[in-house]
Amino acid sequence: MKLRSLLGLVTTILVLIGMAGTLGCSATGSQVTPLVQSTTETTITSPNTQIAVAVTASGMSVTTQPAAETPAITTATETPVTTTTTTTPVTTTTPVTTTTTPVTTTTTTTPITTTTMTTPVTTTTTTTPVTTTTMTVESKQLLLANVRSNAAQPYGGVYNVDAVTAKHLVDQTQALFLDARYLVDYDKSHISGAISLPVSSVWIGLIDPTTVLLNKDAVLIAYCAPGCPAGLELAEELYVLGYHNVFVLDGGYLVWQTAGYAMITQ
């Protein structure tokens, strides 16, 4: 479009110049005027093409050449580059090596020397002189009645006696001690002169008291260990069998031993 406009402008100029020349020639008539070559040059520059128009008397010439290139100004806009650094935590797993150290257990067996010291047991038998008094039946019954009146009665016709009273009955009436414990206990230690008569053997019929104790009027004193009921149980069995003068040593053989009376010890 711009090139066509320029060409139209050039054409218009050329037409005007031609008309001016024609008018000059008519005014002079036949007078010959020396020809002076007049040259008119017009340069038109478009953005991409430069056009030079030269008008002379002999004619018109149009020269087209590329327009001088205007150096392009390049504007460089630097865009700041934002670098985002993402740090990813690195988890390092260190393999754990478990070292098992064998445990050596050393057991030292120290031989134990057992020294058995045998202490000789000295059995001291204290012999209390016994004064044998021949009592009449009446005197005996009076003594027993006196003992019963001052004693506790745990069962029926059975009465408790202490060590001193028991010793008095032994001395005056030849009373017999009856050990109601097991035979193994009797063998370890018992009252001097006592007869072994385990109540457990009486219960099962292994021992018949009537074959051991023939006189049912004899004075009998049953005993056991402290807190043991076997002495009372034996006394009850004898009373049921018809023995009339049955007593129990209150506190067992220990009260007899503590009083210093005679004991048999293996």
Listed range (35-44, 46-55, 135-144, 148-157) with the worst mean pLDDT: 35-44
Between CA 160 and CA 255 the distance in angstroms is: 13
User: Would you tell me the crossing angle of helices 163-173 and 137-149 to the nearest 10 degrees?
Assistant: 170
pLDDT higher than threshold 70 for residue 205 = yes
pLDDT band at 188 (very low <50, low <70, confident <90, very high): very high
pLDDT of residue 135: 79
Strand partners, 177: 221
pLDDT (tens digit, 9 = 90+) per residue, 221-232? 999 999 999 999
The pLDDT assigned to 92 comes to: 47
Task: Write the CA distances from 95 to 92, 98, 99, integer angstroms.
Answer: 9, 10, 13
Gap between the Cα atoms of 244 and 238, Å rounded: 9
Number of other residues whose CB lies within 10 A of the CB of residue 106: 4
Whether 262 has a pLDDT exceeding 60, the answer reads: yes
* Of 247, 255, 214, 213, residue with least CA distance to 231: 247
Q: Kindly state the average pLDDT of the residues 155-168.
A: 96
Q: Identify the residue with better confidence: 24 or 8.
A: 8
The pLDDT confidence band at residue 65, using thresholds 50, 70 and 90, is: low
Q: How confident is the model at residue 32 (pLDDT cuts 50, 70, 90)?
A: very low
Question: What percent of the chain is predicted at pLDDT more than 70?
Answer: 52
CA 95 to chain centre: 28
* Tens-digit pLDDT profile for residues 71-108: 443 444 444 544 444 444 544 444 545 445 554 545 45
CB neighbours of 80 closer than 8 A, spacing ≥ 6?
A: none
pLDDT of 236 above 60: yes
Q: Which one, of 258, 178, 259, 253, lies nearest residue 213 by Cα?
A: 178
Tell whether the model's pLDDT for residue 45 goes beyond 70. Answer: no
Q: Band of the pLDDT at 11, cuts 50, 70, 90?
A: confident
Q: Whole-angstrom Cα distance, residue 14 to residue 54?
A: 10
The CB-based long-range contact list for 113-122 (8 Å cut-off, 24+ gap) reads 121/265, 121/266
Confidence of residue 168 (pLDDT cuts 50, 70, 90): very high
pLDDT band at 9 (very low <50, low <70, confident <90, very high): confident
**pLDDT score for 179:** 98
When pLDDT is averaged across residues 151-180 and rounded to a whole number, the result is 96
Residue 110 has a pLDDT of: 52
